[in-house]
Amino acid sequence: MNIDDILAARARIDGHVIRTPCEISETLSLLLGCTLYIKFENQQFTASFKERGALNCLLALDESVRKRGVIAMSAGNHAQALAYHGTRLGVPTTIVMPRSTPNAKVEQTRVHGAQVILEGAQFEATRQFTHALATERGLHLVHPFDDPLVMAGQGTVGLEISEQVPDADLVLVPVGGGGLISGVATALEARLPACAVYGVQVQRFDGAARRLHGEDVRASRFGTVAEGIAVKSPGEQTMPIIHRLVKDIFTVDEDAVEQAIFTLLEIEKTVAEGAGAVPLAALRANRERFAGKKVVMILSGGNIDMMILSSVLQRGLVRSRRLVRLKVEIPDVPGALGELTNRIGALDSNIVDIVHQRAFGPSSVRATIVELVLQMRGEEQVDQVLASLAEAGYEASLIV
């Protein structure tokens, strides 16, 4: 896979996928001490960059192969991209997903016209079944990342970056199996050779980073909010390109990814899935390394489960002290609770939830503990509320 393959891919998919914007974030640039551009791949029709590689592969197949159909193993963005473009081009598409795949993802893939088969409790069982079914039915297997045509399609992201930010110092790319970073790095080596390419993975699935540094690959038995890059080991075809062209691969923890999702929604008003937010998490954790640089981060996708997004937002409000829990001891007499809530209301704090425990609290029989969840403006208001309650004689403390 080389620059000619990527140029050919762009010619094939031109007009069928979006040339996504790559725009400067003034606010994040100020906060991070660099000039930050965001490549918004979440604006593709199926909300991820995966359309580029899937479509390039479909269009490059000869007619007889396309008539028989294609098959893929995927529980996420690759499935939706292949299903959408396969149906649009009249190519029969079969997607095999693990049985544990959330129903919302199954239905999102089916709605694009693919036959969806649920098979295997784990990815390895799903992979084996998919290969066997491809052989049995004579279907062409479209691998989510370890395929030169898929890699070349993803490389068109790099071509666009070289034209949109021709003086970029570096590009941060999410890494799972390595298809996106392989294509992007190949494109930038040819078109923007002075631009360094860095990858980003989550600590729980850091196979590419470990391989890059000559370490044994291991994957966590726990899940990750960045499920789109939860790949145990990178591809056999992608890893040599990563070794040759990628400067380094950063790893970030789960909290950092959650905060990055929250920040992108709050500041940029854009929804990022965990995999799409990891470049921002890496930027925050390595500010001194990127200070004063012109940085492009690839926001690779925006397909995040609504329950996960809801949880991330709630936890983000807690981290920023806009949602806090207080424990306050009050006398167990009529009117005491009303007096406390009136005082809190007078401090412009909104009570979201309140629990009034008598029997289970540690207080004496003549007192009780009240737990409150309060909506705040931030750290400064929390301090004001605690100080005011203390001045009024209450014993109040934060519940962490």
Which residues form the catalytic set? 50, 300
10 Å Cβ neighbour count for 166?
Answer: 10
Edge-first strand order for the sheet with 140-141 is 115-118, 93-97, 70-73, 140-141
Position 195, amino acid:
C
* CA–CA dist 66, 92 (Å, integer): 8
CB 239 within 8 A of CB 188: no
Give the CA dihedral 137, 232, 20, 17, nearest 10 degrees: 0
Nearest Cα neighbor of 28 from 327, 288, 358, 283 is 283
Q: Which helix (H) or strand (E) holds 354?
A: strand 350-357
Nearest Cα neighbor of 380 from 352, 354, 348 is 348
* CA–CA dist 329, 134 (Å, integer): 66
Residue with the two structure tokens 């269009």: 59
Supply the angle between the helices 379-391 and 336-346 in degrees, to the nearest 10: 140
Supply the angle between the helices 3-13 and 148-164 in degrees, to the nearest 10: 80
Residue 264 CB contacts under 8 Å (≥ 6 apart), including other chains: 270, 271, 272, 276, 277, 280, 299
